[in-house]
Amino acid sequence: MSTTAAKDGTEGYYTVWGEGRDVTFSGRQGVHDRLAAEQLAEHAARLARKNEALEDFAALVAHDVKSSLLSVLMSDEPRKVLTRALEIVDSILAATRADRADGGAAQGADCVRQAAADLGDIHAEVITTVTGEFPISPAALRIVLRNLLANAVAAGAGRIFVSAVARGDRRVLVVDDDGVGLGSTDRYATGGHLGLSLCRRLVARFGGVLELKPRASGGTRAVLVLTQVDR
């Protein structure tokens, strides 16, 4: 613990916790020092959040846009695919700018539709019963769903079911597929092993949790749990 002497002789001690150490200040000067330290800590936390958002933006652009651009090479309508890739960049920018404090509200059905459209022509049927709002930004939910649908496709799914349930203040979104299931090393079209971790970081900004589970009937279940915050 380090201590500053009271410069004006007044009594009173204040403790600031920062960088894992206690600093005790005293006197009127101490009050100013404490406020300055608190402001500095707040500023540092804000900068850290911005830095994280920038990292997420760069990683998501590299990850999600790369797959869109690759499909330009195989498309008969490259203009259409490029327009979609540009839209995806915009949605990533919007997703990484927002966080829980902004109180997002995504229309689940719209996000499923957009995510499926982002993938272009896929050999899987996407069936959805999702309705209502989810406490996350629409752009973020679209990115997460796009990645989950892409994973189901990589697992060779023929049918992907997207559903949702409400449990108290929680909204749970479920993506079920009938693909090869977890742990299949040779029948899953593995990419960079980045998609899920990027999505987990993104949903964590909204207080959400994303997990994968095996389905009893075969295939994989992705579960996204989002909690409504009281504002």
| Binding interface with Mg ion (CB under 5 A) | 151, 195
What is the C-alpha separation between 21 and 115, in angstroms, rounded?
47
Radius of gyration of the chain (CA): 23
Nearer to ligand ATP, 181 or 207 (CB): 181
Instruction: Report residue 190 as tokens.
Output: 């593995």
What is the C-alpha separation between 95 and 67, in angstroms, rounded?
18
Instruction: Report residue 77 as tokens.
Output: 């309508």
Q: How, if at all, do strands 13-18 and 21-26 pair?
A: antiparallel
Binding partner selected for residue 120 from Mg ion, ligand ATP, none, CB under the kind-specific 5 to 8 Å limit? none
What is the C-alpha separation between 195 and 186, in angstroms, rounded?
18
From the CB of 45, what's the least distance to Mg ion, in Å?
31
Contacting range for ligand ATP; rule: CB under 6 A; set: 5-13, 69-77, 87-95, 150-158: 150-158
From the CB of 37, what's the least distance to ligand ATP, in Å?
40
Restricted to residues 7-36, the positions that interact with ligand ATP (CB under 6 A) are: none
Q: Which residue is nearest to ligand ATP (CB)?
A: 191
Nearer to ligand ATP, 14 or 188 (CB): 188
Count residues near ligand ATP (CB under 6 A).
22
What is the C-alpha separation between 188 and 212, in angstroms, rounded?
15
Q: How, if at all, do strands 209-214 and 220-227 pair?
A: antiparallel
- The reply to whether 98 sits near ligand ATP by the rule CB under 6 A is no
Nearer to ligand ATP, 26 or 220 (CB): 220
- The reply to whether 155 sits near ligand ATP by the rule CB under 6 A is yes
CA pseudo-torsion sign 133, 139, 145, 149:
positive
Of how many residues is the chain composed?
231
Beta carbons within 8 Å of 229's beta carbon, 6+ residues apart? 100, 103, 135, 207
From the CB of 54, what's the least distance to ligand ATP, in Å?
20
- The reply to whether 37 sits near ligand ATP by the rule CB under 6 A is no
Contacting range for ligand ATP; rule: CB under 6 A; set: 36-44, 51-59, 127-135, 189-197: 189-197
For binding to ligand ATP (CB under 6 A), which residues are involved? 63, 147, 151-152, 154-155, 177, 179-182, 188, 190-197, 212, 220
